[in-house]
Each structure stands twice: as structure tokens, then as C-alpha cells.
A = this chain, B = another copy of it.
């Protein structure tokens, strides 16, 4: 075949923003999801699954920061020319599901769902085009008790995963309160839509930019470290003051500016050096700031009920905290909004100490299902960012990805006896022991290397001598590795053969069990 006729080889590569997941990360994720599932089930939520593909118009466009249609979503045409989209979250498909099955569902309807979602966005650090969410939603419950329950569920989930108390906080706000604030600075009405959005986005950045940064974004705008300028909301100084006295942290006592960024924080500081105001005091403070706006008052009254529910069940303001800085980008929220926030610090890629931040969020969206039914169907939900949460558990050393749990490897010394070796592997499997036959072409030395790479606890060896005597040799790789550190001499090594012993073939399973038991701890 001439060079010209050679087939063009496709390049093996992944599109940007998409990733493969390794065995250790998958196992850790599966363990984590199983624990989350237990908590969600304990609150009475039932599992549901919906397909990845939906009609584009049924999903609607409710992504944060997406003003143009089709932006942010993977879409394609069906053969009848209708637009299909990959789901970008699990809430829009739930709304579609409830609308389709409204009459047969128990009401309220509680479901949890875990699955991949897709965003057609520019990928960046920690920003992927496919990621997994784990959601719980209650549909058909207008009661603020439903929101309170989700806040408690969020706290329980984090604790179940081993995140210590005072290392997390569930921060709660209300869109009604925020709208009350906007009313108070005369930003109601359709004409002010984009200005309202700018103000909310500025508030949302309090954690990252601090008070000065937010103040700039509320006014003329802000130039960041790289010199890029973000246009501000253009509020008058008086309105800016009004917003700032509302969003100013409800913190009593010392700030942490003196230490942050200068030296590593100690453990006490890392879990949060602040003392926050009691929730009732925060709500009173808000009443003084935005009281008089009917929407604002309604929001404050709802949050007061939420706090009462949580406190009665033992969840105080150290775990579930009313906090003015929570905004949430999604357009469809109508009432309570909340965030599960990890307060400990980690080192970012520039070597700075930064708070870990949000690992999940949610809120009330009473209008979303009504889009289909033309009727208000109250609903509220909470969504966990699965890979963010796994990173947090790794940072807290609750999860160790380096642990390899490999199978026992049965070596192949005599290729003609492969059926015998297969039988050894099969005997181990039948006894519930992970085992594999070496299936490659390489010699003894490479087979031992393979077993090492697989993280095998031991290998099973049967050469001609052993077969004649009806015996097998077992080499304990963990003990062997430790012993090899002690024995420097190559000759001594060959004589001692640490961790290696020979047993009758009929004792194979018991002998391997012994090795596994020895290394269990």
C-alpha cells in the first residue's frame, strides 16, 4: 500500500472541559453518593431518573448569566426538526416530569435525583462541561417548613460525610427580602430589570471581593488585579449605603483581615474566627433596614418561621445561619435561597489561603412548574455539587484516593497449563476473593511488576516443580515490600525470599485468605 493510500488515523482526544474518571475517584464518589442517598432517603425523598435529552422548550432557559438564547446548552435537532437539548440541571427536567404526571403523583411530591448535567460553556479551573449533581426537591408544599427541612438535610449530609461542625454553615436568605431591599432603593418595575440584576450580582460577590469591592460594583464599577474593568450598577451614594448596611456582615467581634494571607491560619482560625449574630437578631436588624416594604416584611416573617423550625429540631445559628450575602444566580428562585458553605481554608493554585466555599445550594421556585400548568405549583430544592464536595472531603482527608485495592494475580509460568491457572483464579473468586489470571504475554519479572502496578496483595505461582508435587507458592507482596527494605544483600534476599511460602493446592484459598486478613488493618 502506498503512503498516500494509508487510512487517516483519527486522533485519540477528549473535547475540552470533559474528563475521564479513574477507579479510585469513582470508588470514592460512589461511597460518598451512597451516604448522601441514606440522608436524602431518611427525609422521605424517593429516587427518580429522567433522560439526558429533553425538548429545548420544555427545559426553558434558566441558567445564570445567560442572556442569549441557546447559550450555555448543548442543543441539536430531532429528525422532525424539533430542538432537543442536553439537560443543564436536574430541576428543569423535574418540572417537566411533575407537569406530565401531576395527577398521579402523591402531593407533596419528594424526589431525589443524581446524574450528569451538561453546560456548553467555556471551561476553566473547576468549571467543566459535564458534571454530576445530586438534588432533593419537594414539590407542592408552600410551607416554609419544606425549606427548613432542606436546610437541615444539607447540614445532615455534610456531617454524615465527616465534615465537622463549625467547618460548615448553611447560609439562608430570601429573594423576597432582596426584592424588598431593591424596592427600598426604588429599583422595582420592568425598566430596572438589568440594574436589579447588577445589584444582586454585586452582593453575590461579597465573599470573594469584600465590602470595598461590592461597594465599587454598586457604584461606577471596579478594576480587578489584572486591570479588567467591570461596569457597576451606577447607584447613587445614598442607595449604595442602604445596600451596604443591609449586606454588611452580621459579624460581632474581630474580623480576620489581620491574619488572612499573611501566615497559615491555625485550626481554630480555619474553622472560622468569627462570632455571628444570633439569627433572630439578624432578622431584627433587617426589619430596621428594609421594614415597610411588604415583600421584604413577608420574606423576613418566613425566615423567622424557618429559624423557629430549625431551632426546635436542634439546628441553631452556628449551623443554619441567616446571611444577607446569599443571592444565587438562577433566575427562577422566588423565595428562600440557601447555600451549603464550607468555612475551612485551603491553599489555592497561587498558594493563598482561601475559604473552601459553596458545595451545594438551593431555594424556592414557585413559578417553574406553573410554566406548563398555568397554575402556581410551589416547590423548593437543594442541589449538591458532587465533584466540589469530593474535593472538600479530599482536602479534609476524609477520602484517600491513593488507596488501591487490587486483586490477587495468578501468574502464568507455563502457557500450556493456562486452564489450570484459570481454575486457581476461579477457586479464589468462588470464595469471594478478587482474583485475576495474568492474561498478557510477558515473562515472570514483568508479571510481578504488573501485580505491583495493580496493587495486588499477593500473587499465586505454580511452576513445573510445584505442579508435580500438587503445590502452589504464594508471594505476599505487602510483606515482601517491607522486608526488602530491611534486606540489603541480593544473595540473602534470594535465600530468604521474604513473604513467600508454599502450600498444597487444596489449601490455596485458605492461605490467600490468611494473607488478606494479615493486611486488613
By a beta-carbon cutoff of 8 Å, the part of chain A in contact with chain B is 9-15, 18-23, 26-27, 30, 41-44, 46-55, 57-58, 60, 74-76, 78-79, 82, 84, 86, 95-97, 99-100, 106-108, 110-111, 116, 118, 120, 129-130, 138, 140-143, 145-146, 148-149, 152, 156, 308-309, 311-314, 371-374, 406-407, 409, 418-420, 422-423, 425-426, 429, 432-441, 450, 453-454
Q: A15-B54, A76-B75, A100-B14 are in contact. Are A419 and B42 (CB under 8 A)?
A: no
Interface of A is mostly: mixed
A129 pairs with B53, CB closer than 8 A: yes
Interface residue from B118, B313, B436 paired with A426 (Cβ < 8 Å): B313
A130 pairs with B20, CB closer than 8 A: no
Q: A107-B450, A312-B422 are in contact. Are A15 and B82 (CB under 8 A)?
A: yes
CA distance A55 to B15 in the complex (A): 6
B149 pairs with A422, CB closer than 8 A: yes
Question: Which chain B residues lie closer than 8 Å to A438 at the CB level?
Answer: 108
Looking across the interface, which residue of chain B has its beta carbon closest to that of A152? Answer: B426
Looking across the interface, which residue of chain B has its beta carbon closest to that of A7? Answer: B371
B76 pairs with A48, CB closer than 8 A: no
Question: Which chain B residues lie closer than 8 Å to A313 at the CB level?
Answer: 419, 422-423, 425-426
CA distance A130 to B425 in the complex (A): 36
Q: How many copies does the complex hold?
A: 2
CA distance A436 to B44 in the complex (A): 5
A23 pairs with B48, CB closer than 8 A: yes
B149 pairs with A18, CB closer than 8 A: no
Question: Which chain B residues lie closer than 8 Å to A143 at the CB level?
Answer: 418, 439-441
B53 pairs with A74, CB closer than 8 A: yes
Interface residue from B42, B51, B429 paired with A20 (Cβ < 8 Å): B51
Query: Please, could you name 27 A-B residue pairs with CB atoms under 8 Å apart, sorted by A?
Result: A9-B371, A12-B58, A13-B58, A13-B100, A14-B54, A14-B96, A15-B78, A18-B51, A20-B49, A20-B97, A23-B111, A42-B433, A43-B435, A44-B407, A44-B409, A44-B435, A52-B118, A53-B129, A53-B130, A74-B84, A108-B438, A141-B439, A143-B418, A143-B439, A143-B441, A149-B437, A308-B419
Question: Which chain B residues lie closer than 8 Å to A418 at the CB level?
Answer: 143, 145, 309
Question: Which chain B residues lie closer than 8 Å to A21 at the CB level?
Answer: 48-50
Given contacts A13-B96, A14-B51, 6 further A-B contacts (CB under 8 A): A10-B57, A13-B55, A15-B78, A106-B453, A140-B439, A145-B437
CA distance A372 to B110 in the complex (A): 47
Q: A43-B429, A100-B14 are in contact. Are A48 and B22 (CB under 8 A)?
A: yes
B10 pairs with A371, CB closer than 8 A: yes
Question: Which chain B residues lie closer than 8 Å to A51 at the CB level?
Answer: 14, 18-20, 129-130
CA distance A110 to B437 in the complex (A): 11
Question: Which chain B residues lie closer than 8 Å to A54 at the CB level?
Answer: 14-15, 18
Looking across the interface, which residue of chain B has its beta carbon closest to that of A410? Answer: B44
CA distance A374 to B58 in the complex (A): 45
A372 pairs with B10, CB closer than 8 A: yes
Interface residue from B76, B145, B434 paired with A422 (Cβ < 8 Å): B145
Which 8 A-B pairs rank lowest in CB-CB distance, beginning with the nearest?
A44-B436, A12-B99, A312-B419, A141-B439, A44-B407, A21-B49, A18-B51, A313-B426
**A488: shortest Cβ distance to chain B, in Å?**
29
Question: Which chain B residues lie closer than 8 Å to A11 at the CB level?
Answer: 57-58, 372
B60 pairs with A423, CB closer than 8 A: no
B440 pairs with A107, CB closer than 8 A: yes
CA distance A26 to B40 in the complex (A): 15
CA distance A84 to B10 in the complex (A): 14
Question: Which chain B residues lie closer than 8 Å to A372 at the CB level?
Answer: 9-12
**A383: shortest Cβ distance to chain B, in Å?**
18
